[in-house]
Structure 1
Amino acid sequence: MKRACVYFIALFFAVSLDAKSVKQYQNEIEKENKSLHELKKALEEKRTEKEYCLLEEKRIRSEVARIEQELARLAKQKDALRRDINKAQKNLAYSEKALKLADMEKNQWQAVLEKEADLWFRANHGFQKMFTNPVAGKLRLYALSQKKTYRDNAEEKETESKIALERWQNAKATLLNLKKKQEQTARERENIKGEKQGLLKTTIGRRIVAEDEIKKITDSARDLERVIGNLEKKKKQTEAETAARKVFREKKNLLPWPVQGEIITRFGKNKHPELATYVISNGIKIRTAPLAAINAVSGGEVIFSGEFRAYGLMVILDHGGGFYSIYGQLGETSLEEGQKPKAGEAVGRMGNSGEQALYFEIRSAGKPEDPTTWLIHNEISERSSK
């Protein structure tokens, strides 16, 4: 069905070979070249954005790789810390055992020393008896001195063990603190890595969406220009078009609005809200209510009615004299090619869900013109211009 419609349009608007049509067609080519230049400019801007996205992707991938290297280094540090902590734990256990043994040894020698000293004094009947046998007294004193030395050595071992125990306790605490900080750093790097990967995904998505949108806009504009060009060629064959053109020209600033609403996209260059670039609009978009009736701005003949690329469900009216009005993004229409609605009669209706916006164009000799210069000025147009 679609192929049949396109074939019919091409056949109906076949090229006229008379001198006047050729001249007008050449003018149209020059005008379209100007529009093509604007599109190429917009495409160049999008290519620049694409290159920027590619550089961002490369930069983010590099940052993610650097973070992964740092995480690998932190993992090695974690293993080393775990080994150091185990070593400190073993040394701590050894120090605790050495302290316990040194304390036991000191206590044992202290008990022996006290017991022998007591026996010695009893065996010699008191302090003065110690001097009756000088040799025996010296030997006993020497033996006591030796045991005291053993006790003192054991006490020194106990002191050294306490120092070693404290040192390994401090070392373990320090290592555990380092391990805690290292784990916190690793968590932070993992979070940053996740953020970077999310940003990378967004950047890639932005580039893909931009490329897809540019293709759709380019294809839609090119195909519509082809359709309007073919329509214009056919209509320029008759001399009656000149008179019809004059009649329609007199309607400038007097055409009724196709629907009540607010202009949200103006004719010409508009900044795309998502692509961060400018796109050329050959018409206007009028935000309106769901199921709003769309009316013909002037009497004419339906030369196209159906789905057409990004314009959705579309109706084209030929008003004669090379003038056309285009109604796009309709929700429904009952018009068929060949029908001739009058001014104010229904062209179709908008959809019934979500935000609804009519796409509206006026073409003269294949060239898009600002519809607001044709429509009658009223409260809506004044509000939309603010």
Structure 2
Amino acid sequence: MTGQILFGRFVVFILFALSVGQTALADELSASRERLLRIQERIESTDKSLQQNKTKVRSLRDELRAVDKELFSLARKEKNLKKKLADNQRQQDESRKQISLLRKQIEAQRQTLEKRIGSLYKGGGGGVIKLLFSGMGPAELDGQFRNMLRIVHHDQKILNDYRQQQETLNRKLESLEELKQRQQMDLAELKKSRKVLARASKLKVQILSKVRKDQRLLTSLKKELESKASRLSGLLKQLETAGDQDKNDSPLARQRGKLPWPVEGKVRISFGPQRHPDLGTLFDSNGIEINTEEQTPIKALWKGRVAFASAFKGYGNLVIIDHGSGYHSLYAHASRMVKRVDDHVKQGEVLAFSGYPGTSGVYFEIRRQGKPVDPETWLSRR
């Protein structure tokens, strides 16, 4: 019984040493998963920011196109308005020339009319008095007089026409001047609008440049985060592989009740509290003892790595297999071992042979996370 206790303590020590590695591995896995989760959250956040930036870029592009279109429209309006102003100025210049010419014509016509009136009424060389005493007959005299009146009326009509034309031109000149003032005001407003739009366009170009720069930075950050996530995923895969060497196969836990026996034979000592068949004392057994003939092959319960293979006082030679995921199987009372530490074994592969001197069988345990479990509940029924 003392040997059983010592063996139990030894196994606990061995599995504790193994579990330290498992715990460290589990801690590293947990920390790596946490880092990966944070990186993935940052990737999602960065991707969201990228999408928002893309929306901003599209919006700014649309706004810039609208501003450029408006600037083009204003430039075209300004060009047309300047052309109209130039036409207006030409019309004003032409009207002023016509007014100046009309004034000269009016003045000349006025002087001519004054002379004729003076001749008629003041007795000049062709005056009325002279006409009366010219010796002409009444009919002839009347005809001459009427001719003179027609000339005077004609001159007066020409003079009035000139004055009307001058008034028309003056009104046109005033209208053109008013139009010019309105056009100049419109032109000033257009120039002001163009300046405002030009500043807005420049500002939007700067914002667009910054947003694009942010987008490049976010894209670079996303790629870096994705690279980190990829590397971390690879590390996780390695760690998970280290914790469970053959993850593609069904886990050991799924084989519960279906696993092969390490040796053929009858169970001499069962798992749990009981009385020792030879000593008659009560004790807790962490495993089972199976009666078997000497030199019977002891086979691996499940695939795994040899974590321990050496002699242990009172239990002959001991082999411990690490099956991953915190599961271990122990095989004691071996006379000869055929596997070494770090050897990888398959299910059913021979680990050792029974027949250690002074024993009548093989001692067998299964441990989960360092704690012993009843092996018979894991082995197939016979």
TM-score (norm 1): 0.47
Q: Say which one has the larger Rg.
A: 2
Q: TM-score, normalised on structure 2?
A: 0.47
